[in-house]
Amino acid sequence: RRIKGEVVLKDVTFGYVPGKTVLKRINVTAKPGQKIAFVGSTGAGKTTITNLINRFYEIEEGEIYIDGINIRRIKKDSLRSNIAMVLQDTHLFSGTVRENIRYGRLDATDEEVVAAAKIACAHSFIERLPEGYDTVLEGDGANLSQGERQLLNIARAAISKAPILILDEATSSVDTRTEKYIERGMDRLMKNRTTFVIAHRLSTVRNADLIIVLEHGEIIEQGTHEELLDLGGRYYQLYTG
Ligand code: DCP
Ligand code: MG
């Protein structure tokens, strides 16, 4: 069976409002299982690219293909089940921890919920909650720390069988121990999936198959960490601060 998760952006040009172009002629090819990192200054268009892959907005010019199929022809439901996301602001709802993890995979068994929580390194903190997996979360997970909310979001992505993963890295400061947990969870999550990671901390993009540097909506450099350091351009500047 062919591995799934190929994503191709072809000459994508986009703006949120007429007359203000946010992305200009973006070309990206992600082969199944590859990890592609987007870096660049704030406002460069990183989140916008992932918004378009998710088809949160319609593209003006250019096309996006998933496994050779134009996303304009993919039903939204089908697109949702093909893409898992861990975004900057985590969306939890008032319900139990279990319900929050199972969100989007209602057929998942209790064992699968626990397995996903373990991948996300969330299992141990969940077990310490008053009712464990049956603990009711207040709206938006207000009774959890930021890091814990993030881990639940990772667990939610881990339970999904989507071949494509989008990670919009949180800039928020969680403590270094939690950060280590989150990184470990992310690594396991990315295994065997095509991953687009938007990273503010360059340390997390070093091992990407391809790093794409965006500036004002255009790709200005791309390559591996070593290639871009050798180039001595924008990535080098960002990396060496
Ligand atoms: N923009 C807009 N309307 C939106 C979202 C963004 O007009 N609903 C604009 C703001 C920026 C540009 O689009 O000028 C690119 O925004 P992105 O969110 O794509 O930028 P980044 O993700 O690269 O920035 P950050 O690193 O701050 O997350
Ligand atoms: Mg962003």
Atom 13 in ligand 1: residue holding the nearest Cα: 22
- Domain regions of the chain by residue span: 7-91+162-240
pLDDT (mean) for 19-31 = 97
Q: How far is the CA of 136 from the centre of ligand 1 (A)?
A: 34
Of 142-146, 176-180, 191-195, 199-203, which has the strongest mean pLDDT? 191-195
Q: Which ligand is nearest to the CA of 38?
A: 1
Residue position matching structure tokens 């986009």: 14
Mutation choice for ligand 1 from 22, 197, 201, CB with most ligand atoms inside 8 A: 22
Residue 1 has pLDDT above 50, yes or no: no
Closest ligand 1 atom to 20 CA = 7
- Per-residue pLDDT reduced to its tens digit, 69-86: 999 999 998 998 899 998
**8 Å CB contact between 120 and 185:** yes
Where would I find the H helices in 76-231? 76-82, 97-102, 110-119, 123-127, 146-159, 176-190, 225-231
| Residue 201 clears pLDDT 80, i.e. is over it | no
57 lines ligand 1 (CB under 6 A): no
Report angle CA 90, 92, 96 to the nearest 5 degrees.
145
Q: How many angstroms is it from 11 CA to the middle of ligand 1?
A: 19
Take atom 2 of ligand 1 and give the residue whose Cα is closest.
16
Of the candidate ranges 27-31, 146-150, 201-205, the one whose mean pLDDT is the lowest: 201-205
120/140 Cα distance (integer angstroms): 19
The residue-averaged pLDDT of 159-171 equals: 86
Please state the length of the chain. 241
ipTM field:
0.99
Q: For residue 51, which atom of ligand 1 is closest to its CA?
A: 19
- Ligand 1 close to Cβ of residue 166 (< 6 A): no
Q: What band does 179 get if pLDDT is binned at 50, 70 and 90?
A: confident
What's residue 2's pLDDT? 60
Instruction: Report, as an integer, the average pLDDT of 214-224.
Output: 98
Q: Are strands 194-198 and 164-168 parallel, antiparallel or unpaired?
A: parallel
Question: Is any ligand 1 atom within 6 A of the Cβ of residue 46?
Answer: yes
Helix and strand element counts for the chain (H, E)? 9, 12
User: Other CB atoms closer than 10 Å to residue 84's CB: what's the count?
Assistant: 24
The response to whether residue 51 sits with its C-beta less than 6 Å from ligand 1 reads no
Model confidence over 78-114: pLDDT tens digits? 998 899 998 876 788 889 999 999 987 889 999 999 9
Regarding the beta carbon of 48 and ligand 1, being less than 6 Å apart is answered yes
3-state secondary structure of 141: helix
Task: Please tell me if the CB atom of residue 90 comes closer than 6 angstroms to any atom of ligand 1.
Answer: no
**Which CATH class name applies to 7-91+162-240?**
alpha beta
Tell me the residues surrounding ligand 2 (ion) with CB < 5 Å: 47
Closest residue to atom 8 of ligand 1, CA basis: 16
In this prediction, residues 217-222 reach a mean pLDDT of 98
Helix H or strand E segment including 51? helix 46-53
Residue to mutate, 12, 16, 21, ligand 1, most ligand atoms under 8 Å from C-beta:
16
